[in-house]
Amino acid sequence: MSLRYQAPRGTQDILPEDQAYWDYVRDTASRICRLFGYERIDTPVFETASLFTRTTGEATDIVQKEMYVFRDRGGQELALRPEGTAPVCRAYLEHGMGSRPQPVRLWYWAPIFRYDRPQAGRYRQHHQLGAEALGDSSPSLDAEVIELLWRFYQELGLSNLTLYLNSIGDGQCRPQYVETLRRYYRDRLAHVCPDCQARFHRSPLRLLDCKQEQCQPVIAEAPSMLEHLCGPCRDHLSEVGRYLEAVDVPYTMQPRLVRGFDYYTRTVFEVHPPEEGAQSALGGGGRYDGLVEMLGGPPTPAVGFGTGVERIIIQLKRQEVPVPAPGRPQVYVAWQGAEARLPAFRLASELRQKGISVLLATGDRSLKAQMRQADARGITYVAILGPRELQEGSITLRRLADGYQETLPASALLQRILSP
């Protein structure tokens, strides 16, 4: 059979059997964020498109190739959120959060949309847990968000992850570095891939991020940003490192780490799973001291991260991390004979009103088939209403694990379920 409709390419349904993973990751996220004093924020799924073009960078892949942009019926140009940082900065300004005690620490859990080339771990709709701390330039805040991300993975039970750290400098030192990098690449353009030839003009820092085999020797010899940092950026980076060491968050300096957005300044970081692979980062982020200003706000230094939930779940499965089983209904209400249909419906309702989760048999299945269904769902008790029970005002309760069965007055049922 060929299906007329399928989920759009690069999107996925999250089926009931996968929800235990989602609950686990979401619950852990909200617990850890609370532990670090971050408050939840939700922003709309779509925003004015220029919010992203202005902040992410006109020349980035995200803006050039990956944004879902559309006009609404009023003619406004909107974009499905391709990342979570610019919307949080927009909300920070819109709600005057600059007048709250700084830094303002926020976290979000949100669907993100990118017209990416779908493959394992890369989708057109994915979900991110993100945290942003706005209004403070201290290196301890960089270390705090990095520690938050690291503890989150630890709490989830993930192991063998690597945290890469770098600084891409600021408005003082980066332009000079970019010039040095350009000079270095100018003589080698014939040896790099066509994408890199375009990057040379559009976004030279991204040259360092190329995954093509032929570009690796050129990258390996390229001048390092770390050697071109100005004094304040160098100090900031070494302070971030000192704080991370103080709390035993292991990191690896990666002078070629650059990221896909133009808004970053100074600290950038990524966390990678053990297996190699392009685009495999579990999470990443950095400092973006100029972003709020790009939106017309006052100077507001800030730092944050985003981490992909689908990639985390792939990793949880790969590392065989056990997750708590989803709750199942406690009672299955089975019935026999047409007269029992309505009383069974009522019994299910009464139990639910008492806070007991109930699955009610429907249709005209035999009692045996109803038992099988209850068993398949792993339910503890079956409450049976048949002609005899109706006549007596009783209910038969069967414990599926051992088949123990007793008939009780209807009024005693609740007591028996609650204290077996």
Chain residues in the site for ligand HAM (CB under 6 A): 83-85, 114, 116, 121-123, 126, 128, 130, 132, 260, 281-286, 288, 304-308, 310-311
Burial of 324 (0-12, 13-18, 19+ CB in 10 A): exposed
Strand order in the sheet with 252-253: 39-40, 104-113, 125-134, 302-308, 283-287, 265-272, 162-167, 252-253
Nearest distance in Å: CB 322, ligand HAM: 22
Pick between residue 307 and residue 396 the one whose CB is nearest to ligand HAM.
Answer: 307
State how far the alpha carbon of 160 is from the alpha carbons of 29, 74, 157, 318, 353, in Å: 20, 50, 10, 12, 47
Pick between residue 309 and residue 359 the one whose CB is nearest to ligand HAM.
Answer: 309
Pick between residue 137 and residue 307 the one whose CB is nearest to ligand HAM.
Answer: 307
Pick between residue 218 and residue 281 the one whose CB is nearest to ligand HAM.
Answer: 281
Q: How far apart, in whole angstroms, are the C-alpha atoms of residue 305 and residue 171?
A: 21
Which amino acid makes up residue 304? G
State how far the alpha carbon of 317 is from the alpha carbons of 18, 158, 283, 312, 344, in Å: 11, 10, 17, 9, 40
Longest dimension (CA), the chain: 95
Pick between residue 116 and residue 170 the one whose CB is nearest to ligand HAM.
Answer: 116
Nearest distance in Å: CB 123, ligand HAM: 4
> Which helix or strand (DSSP H or E) is residue 130 part of?
strand 125-134
Nearest distance in Å: CB 261, ligand HAM: 6
Nearest distance in Å: CB 235, ligand HAM: 21
Which amino acid makes up residue 170? D
Nearest distance in Å: CB 102, ligand HAM: 17
Nearest distance in Å: CB 62, ligand HAM: 7
Q: How far apart, in whole angstroms, are the C-alpha atoms of residue 420 and residue 414?
A: 10
Pick between residue 113 and residue 243 the one whose CB is nearest to ligand HAM.
Answer: 113
User: Sign of dihedral through CA atoms 99, 104, 108, 112?
Assistant: positive
Nearest distance in Å: CB 348, ligand HAM: 41
Contact 401/380 with Cβ under 8 angstroms?
yes
Find residue 105's DSSP bridge partners. 133
Nearest distance in Å: CB 268, ligand HAM: 9
Contact 164/210 with Cβ under 8 angstroms?
no
Nearest distance in Å: CB 113, ligand HAM: 9
Q: How far apart, in whole angstroms, are the C-alpha atoms of residue 174 and residue 266?
A: 9
Pick between residue 56 and residue 370 the one whose CB is nearest to ligand HAM.
Answer: 56
Pick between residue 88 and residue 173 the one whose CB is nearest to ligand HAM.
Answer: 88
Pick between residue 46 and residue 184 the one whose CB is nearest to ligand HAM.
Answer: 46
Q: How far apart, in whole angstroms, are the C-alpha atoms of residue 161 and residue 183?
A: 35
Residue nearest to ligand HAM (CB): 308
Specify the residue for token string 């032929």: 214
Q: How far apart, in whole angstroms, are the C-alpha atoms of residue 363 and residue 341?
A: 9
Q: How far apart, in whole angstroms, are the C-alpha atoms of residue 303 and residue 55?
A: 14
HEC secondary structure over 299-315: CCCEEEEEEEHHHHHHH
Nearest distance in Å: CB 157, ligand HAM: 17
Nearest distance in Å: CB 5, ligand HAM: 22
Pick between residue 97 and residue 282 the one whose CB is nearest to ligand HAM.
Answer: 282
Pick between residue 126 and residue 199 the one whose CB is nearest to ligand HAM.
Answer: 126
- Sequence-separated (6 or more) residues with CB below 8 Å from residue 1: none
